[in-house]
Amino acid sequence: MEVSQDFPVSSLKHSAGGPRMTSTELTAYGVISFIVVLWCHYKWNRRHFERLASKMTGPPAYPIIGAGLEFVGTPQQVIERIIKLFDIYGSEPFKVWMGTSLGVTISKPEDVQIVLNSSKALEKDQFYKFFKNTVGEGLFSAPVHKWRRHRRLITPVFNANLLDQFFPVFNEKNRILTRNLKKELGKTQPFDLWDYIADTTLDIICQTAMGYNLDTQLNNESEFAEALTKASELDSMRIYKPWLHPDIIFSIYGKLTGLHNVYKTLHKLPNQVIKEMKETYAQRKIDNKSNTIDVNDDDKKRLKVFLDTLLDLNEAGANFSDEELRDEVVTMMIGGSETSAITLCFCLLLLAIHPEIQDKVYDEIYEVLGDGDQTITIEDTTKLVYLEQCLRETLRLYPIGPLLLRQLQDDVKIFSGDHTLPKGTTCIISPICTHHIPELYPNPWSFNPDNFDAENVSKRHKFSFIAFSGGPRGCIGSKYAMLSMKVLVSTFLRNYSVHTNVKLSDIKLKLDLLMRSANGYPVTIRPRDRRPTYKKNTHCSTVNL
């Protein structure tokens, strides 16, 4: 049989030997196989997350970005969308894909208690790294191993004796506030409470944390106060710009723009004060040993501040480095200034919106402190029960931190849905949702201080109110915050009544690092005549008769 001339011999040989792949084809097949193996490995490691996610509702998610589109927008739009998500999905746990990481919202008090009390949920989420340029690794943002040691050492120093020593500072700074507010008397145009309250709380915390008189109420050109504001804005900007999330990119951006100097300026004052106080502390030790002066009498007269207690702990063997001392001091200063200022501004605005509640608060203040100018004491604050109810109701209505994020270090089982949350899940604990569950708080978006009378509190789960977080990593300064806020509000209302044209429905929220009013806190004030309102009301009734 002859081979046709139309069919090349070379083709027959190639066909007889079978198809052969080129090196390019081999490389392509290798790459594809490697990608398939990686994808299978990735899916296998995520099987627990995807199995849980398949059982939950939640906002739509997309590759790589997850549900990120839900949180794109202005700070005001972001908090509106967060609240809307809870309106849609309710208080049951629901999923939120944060990029490729699974987040599960936890709102019911029973589930919140499990997570916040769990030793497997003590680690803060990676989100908190955005604060480290500002607060370093203080109690707020420290990894668990460091947090455990610092918390164990620091907690005992926040006792009644230490807090009682702060009252002269509270009273002094509030007297300055009262004098500064006089310029607003007689004006019909509203002013923003923030302009006065923020300076006051910053002065108080600087004095009680470091023993340093920053005096921003009388000196508006404070380098430290300006750096604190800019650092907060910078951290907030980073959150909303995903391309700045990687540390190396943010570091380069900071150096190119010069913004990294903001953090240097912020830390300059604490570093300087720590250096000086350590030198003074060492000198007092020498003087004690040589008995050259009566140090004990001087120490009794001197205000003992938070930094003093840290240096005492160092003397007892705590071995805090200078950087750790600074991180803890700065953490307390930031945690005790802006957070308190926002709550105080909201509280006074709410009292202006509800004059009948304001009158009731003032009557209690009058009953405890009378009509003189006596300074308030720590014993007096324990009697201001209704005022504390108002502050707690303010924190319920407008929690400063509307979301708390914890990363699970092991599996945790919750009540709702009988779900087991796998290791690596980010638990999104939501005060803004928990505080507005109608079954816990009827008419949840109204201002009702009676929500926190003893009877109503006893009916609710302990974790129905989580404005100060809860469990082992709960806010260490909650007592300090409540005492300082009671002093400020009582001093304010003893001297002025506060008024506004704003309605509760007019308050719009925004979320940067903290949740605050988008339109400020506009009020007017009038001088207080130092008489209880119930006596005035009784008198009016008699006249009418």
Extract the annotated binding site for heme: 475
Comparing CA positions, the residue from 175, 235, 233 lying closest to residue 204 is 175
Query: Contact 150/139 with Cβ under 8 angstroms?
Result: yes
C-alpha separations of 403 from 60, 128, 412, 514 in Å: 20, 12, 19, 10
Query: Contact 481/394 with Cβ under 8 angstroms?
Result: no
CB atoms within 10 A of CB 191: 17
> In this structure, which amino acid lies at residue 102?
L
List the structure tokens of 463: 């974790």
CA–CA separation, 146 and 171 (whole Å): 35
For residue 529, what are the contacts with CB-CB under 8 A and spacing of at least 6? none
CB atoms within 10 A of CB 101: 16
φ/ψ region of 253 (left if φ > 0, alpha if ψ in -120 to 50, else beta) reads alpha
CA–CA separation, 177 and 175 (whole Å): 5
Read off φ and ψ for residue 419, nearest 5 degrees.
-85, 145
Read off φ and ψ for residue 246, nearest 5 degrees.
-60, 135
DSSP 370: T
User: Look-up: residue for tokens 């164990």?
Assistant: 152
CA–CA separation, 530 and 496 (whole Å): 9
CA–CA separation, 206 and 270 (whole Å): 9
Which residues on adjacent β-strands are paired with residue 97?
102
List the structure tokens of 21: 């792949």
C-alpha 252, offset from chain centre: 27
> In this structure, which amino acid lies at residue 456?
N
CA–CA separation, 280 and 261 (whole Å): 29
